[in-house]
Structure 1
Amino acid sequence: MTKPLLLASSSPYRKALLERLALPFTTASPDIDETPMPGETADDLARRLAESKARALAAKHPGHWIIGSDQVACLPDGTLLHKPGNHSQAVHQLRQSSGHRVVFLTGLCLLDADSGDCQVICEPFTAHFRPLSSEEIESYLQREQPYDCAGSFKMEGLGITLFDRLEGRDPNSLVGLPLIALNGMLRNWGCNPLLEG
């Protein structure tokens, strides 16, 4: 028996992605501490945050399947790229990424609020940034202002012009919600989006 879906996020990007599965859902914003733990790998951090977001809402939303997702971006040297929050930090991030490979690790959790059972994965996706001039970085940031996006770009917009190539199973994971993996999780629990409704 399937249950109502709850997206544990206030992100308009994740909401727009989930709408593509054509399943009814509601959203709620979890309040969790996203500080990395000492020695925690980026992969483990992404998984932990996704599950923590889902579990943070379980008590208030019984009878639901809760979808938690969180993304961690890292440079080849292991430096984490967070949401920049402002222009100067976004300039710094894009300068760091210019000409380099950046791995985006998107943690995904599907939690049954009643039983506590969950499925958790980490979906990797690699963006190969082309060398970017200072003028290109400035022009891009002025046009899209991606200050609420990890890595300082919007894949679904003009951000696509920043790359030489992209590698991964699901380009939706770069935006923040791996729909191919989520579809598999839902089907594992008897909910096939193609057969619902």
Structure 2
Amino acid sequence: MKPATDPLAQLTEIRAIMERSSRFLSLSGLSGVGAGVVALAGAATGHWYLHTHYGAQAFLRLVEGSAQERQQALPALLTLALGMIGLALVVAFYFTRRRAAQDGRALWDAPARRLLLSLAVPLTAGGLFCVGLYLRGAASFVIPGMLLFYGLALLNASKYTLDEIRLLGLTQILLGLVAMLLPGWGLIFFALGFGLGHIGYGLLMYNRYER
């Protein structure tokens, strides 16, 4: 006869309980999809703005242009960036709150706070660093820097949430390193990393955990 309690099953249950208490597992894959769509729309808007003001090969002309030209474009680019961040956060909050409610989990618990803090520190530092690069004449490194810092932030936060976030972080880092070698392709790498990368991993997480 089998014992009344299975030690392996008990260990598995204890591990699951510990994981739920230490990791934020309500992150919705649809949040990534929504953020990716926002990033693609932002990249298209940025391309339209630059093409309107600088003509053909607009992004390359901007990064290789004068400091005066870059400063003139900075308010519009910052407004676009902040708008994308705000809209992506709204989308992420909506879908994550919906999943947390479906799973019967708290949205703002200790793992969620640790997750946000681990994201916020490298993202804030990276954002300020990239603004400094832009103002100091190293605009070609801004989008590679954004991808690198974002990838590092995801790696830092991955221990508090789903494992796919670590893979997304590594993907962003790889794209950032390649983007450094192709300065005229910055918007394309932005669309690949923040747009298609989010959509691809978002769909992967949705199919694994939510369908």
TM-score higher than 0.5 here?
no
Larger RCO (CA under 8 A, 6+ residues apart): 2
Structure with greater Cα Rg: 2
Q: Which has the higher helix share?
A: 2
Normalization by structure 2: what TM-score?
0.29
